[in-house]
Structure 1
Amino acid sequence: MGTFVAQSENTKGSKRQPYKPMAEINVTPMVDVMLVLLVIFIVSAPLLSTGVEVNLPEAVTPNLPQDNRALTISINDKQVVTLQNVPVELTNLAARLKAVSDSNPDVRIYVRADKTLSYGIVMGVMTEIYKSGLRNAALVTDTIGRR
């Protein structure tokens, strides 16, 4: 006796196609995630631009190696500006720094300002540094807990 295999009318005489995986990417979930991220950024962007009261002179940073060739500009609480511990008028600072920048344009400048000074005074000194052509300036801060 033989084995009888029944075929349905639909497949009678037709060849079965091998299974092909679907090669489509469903982008709907990705668009949903992107829209949620967009809403989060839109809501949080105004919060980043609002001013937060900070005390800039203190920072948690490692001590950098000392550079003996660097210049130090200090501003004390009486707004006296000194260049390498020699008092200098703010109006003459750019000219003095220009003489240095002609011989060494890559000299590093450390600006040490008393924390009680207003931001505008420190920015005035930074402007004079910029006018002199020097671009490698850094603000010196005190490490938290060092006192």
Structure 2
Amino acid sequence: MKGIGMMPENRRKPMAEINVVPYIDVMLVLLIIFMVTAPMLTQGVKVDLPETASDPIQADKNVESIIVSVDANGAYYVEVGDKGSDPMPLSEVREQVAKILSQRTSRDILVRGDENVDYGTVVRLMATLQGAGATSIGLITDTLPDET
């Protein structure tokens, strides 16, 4: 017996399944985006390092090093951790390094100079870094290939 205010008996049950097809589509689009952008994230400065026979320095794993690079054209770059920079003049390198060292003085400063760059360019860079407050400056080199 049906009453006026009662629900009809042929009512549909609610669907308890989730349609996952749109989520798979979104996941595949994100996968493609990450596959395309991942190679672009690994950027750096092209520097041909001089090869020497030297022992590696022991770096403190808790402290990020500041790496100042000089490419073959004499352009300067400052890298802190994974963050690189655009080419900058020597005066801007001094300001940026001084700002970083004012926050934390226990950072190592490493110079990565292209082997084809003029010796005076690297010396001017090291003098500028000392003027910015650097007390310890190291040079990055490649190891000599084994001649066996």
Query: Do the structures match in fold with TM over 0.5?
Result: yes
8 A Cα contact 1:72 1:112, kept in partner? yes
Give the corresponding residue for 2:134. 134
Aligned-partner Cα distance in 2 for 1:102–1:91: 17
Give the secondary structure class of the aligned counterpart of 2:110.
Answer: strand
Q: Which runs of 5+ in 1 are unaligned?
A: 1-55
Give the secondary structure class of the aligned counterpart of 2:125.
Answer: helix
Give the secondary structure class of the aligned counterpart of 2:100.
Answer: helix
Regions of 4+ moved over 4 Å: 65-68
Structure with greater Cα Rg: 1
User: Deviations along 1:68-127, whole A, 9 cap, x unmatched?
Assistant: 600111111011100013122111111111111111112101100001111100011111
Using the size of structure 2 for normalisation, the TM-score is 0.56
Q: Which runs of 5+ in 2 are unaligned?
A: 1-48
Aligned-partner Cα distance in 2 for 1:99–1:138: 19
Give the corresponding residue for 1:114. 114
Aligned-partner Cα distance in 2 for 1:141–1:60: 9
Q: How many residues align?
A: 91
Alignment RMSD (CA, Å): 1.9
Aligned-partner Cα distance in 2 for 1:103–1:113: 26
1:63 corresponds to which letter in structure 2?
Answer: P
Shift in Å at residue 58 of structure 1?
2.0
Instruction: Give percent identity, aligned residues only.
Output: 21
8 A Cα contact 1:106 1:134, kept in partner? no
8 A Cα contact 1:73 1:109, kept in partner? yes
Aligned-partner Cα distance in 1 for 2:116–2:104: 32
